[in-house]
Amino acid sequence: MSDDEHQVVATAAAKEGLAIGALAAQTVLAVARGCARPEHASLRERLASMMQAARQARRVAVTLNQAASALN
pLDDT at 1 over 80: yes
Using only C-alpha atoms, the chain has a radius of gyration, in whole angstroms, of 20
Phi, psi of 39 (to 5 degrees): -60, -35
Closest CA to 28 of 41, 16, 37, 19: 37
- Backbone torsion region of residue 30, taken as left when φ is above 0, otherwise alpha when ψ lies between -120 and 50, otherwise beta: alpha
Read off the pLDDT of residues 24-40 as tens digits, 9 standing for 90 and up: 898 888 888 887 666 66
Read off the pLDDT of residues 48-70 as tens digits, 9 standing for 90 and up: 899 999 999 999 999 999 999 99
pLDDT at 45 over 90: no
The model's pTM: 0.50
